[in-house]
Structure 1
């Protein structure tokens, strides 16, 4: 149906509940990190933020997949990134999803619903959209967040 060498394949890594402890409070501050011109340092006011609550608000329905490929680079999904999928969300047109159909490996795409047609769009101009044949059942799960290890060098 699709060429695994020209699409971003998502490999299942297990439930997200084991990715973080039950609670993962980390120190936080009201100071923002400017992405543009640096501002003088403001007063540092610390509080706590539970990273597990932010990243995995619905642990029983959340799973981790690992992206492989470059078909979604314009959406910020890079080869090796982790995709946090929340099965409790209902996918809508325009959502970033992990989809599987016809026994194929799960893939990461943008869901487009056009009437009765289901189209899975790549976000790389070198990769064509995948139009799912009429009558084929597609299982789609919403990607809640994308995480990567920042690579140095």
Structure 2
């Protein structure tokens, strides 16, 4: 038998995983159950784990898996455990290609460093990370020293933030626009002017998928 709060928490985790594939944070669980502190969440999690209803996934930050759900009623026949999707908050090691800097193509930035990134920040496809240099995208909330998480692609749509290689020698992070027969790369800082190039001068090397900031 589960207590009312244990049952509420189990069903909340179940629904959250079913809808998003990501286990809720302790803060979200605390608020959902109207608890006063996260220590209450820890006690409920431990109780559910001891009773075999949930399992903590090793080497994954706050990742939980629901192993089974309680039967709806005592008279109902025993049901097999319900297996739900594994939480999508694994840690992924992305290749870190250095800082975006003038005169440096992405290929030249490739090295042996990597960056640990929560998988929940990434969508489908192959990704890499770049350290942002400068303030040209500050009005998009992209600051010097941030890590841009880039999905590899060679195409872009208007309004997407992309990594563009200019004349096969300069990599830059800008908003992609088509302007007549030209390609316009817009900074997000009023102190800088847009850059215009012929299509053959611009090679798209990825689209911004997420941002990671260390404090």
The match for 2:26 is 29
Distance in 1 (alpha carbons) for counterparts of 2:24 and 2:200 = 50
**Counterparts of residues 49-68 of structure 1 (less than 5 Å):** 49=87, 50-51=89-90, 52-58=118-124, 61-68=126-133
Distance in 2 (alpha carbons) for counterparts of 1:83 and 1:148 = 9
Count matched residues: 121
In structure 1, runs of 5+ residues without a counterpart are 1-24
Q: CA RMSD in A?
A: 3.3
Q: Higher strand proportion, which one?
A: 1
1:114 is matched with which residue: 146, 160, 179? Answer: 179
The match for 1:141 is 206
Partner deviation per Cα, 1:96-115 (whole Å, 9 max, x = no partner):
11111213331111111223
2:163 is matched with which residue: 90, 95, 98? Answer: 98
Q: Is structure 2 residue 147 aligned with structure 1 residue 82?
A: yes
Q: After TM superposition, which residue ranges in structure 1, 4 or more long, deviate above 3 angstroms?
A: 39-47, 56-59
TM-score, normalised on structure 1? 0.64
Q: Which has the higher contact order (CA 8 A, sep 6+)?
A: 1
Residues 91 and 140 of structure 1 are in contact (CA less than 8 Å); yes or no, is this contact kept in structure 2?
no
The match for 1:73 is 138
Distance in 1 (alpha carbons) for counterparts of 2:204 and 2:153 = 13
TM-score, normalised on structure 2? 0.47
Structure 1 residues 33 and 106 mapped into 2: Cα distance closer, same or farther (>3 Å)?
farther
Displacement of 1:142 in angstroms is 0.3
Q: Higher helix proportion, which one?
A: 2
Residues 74 and 123 of structure 1 are in contact (CA less than 8 Å); yes or no, is this contact kept in structure 2?
yes
Residues 182 and 197 of structure 2 are in contact (CA less than 8 Å); yes or no, is this contact kept in structure 1?
yes
The match for 1:125 is 190
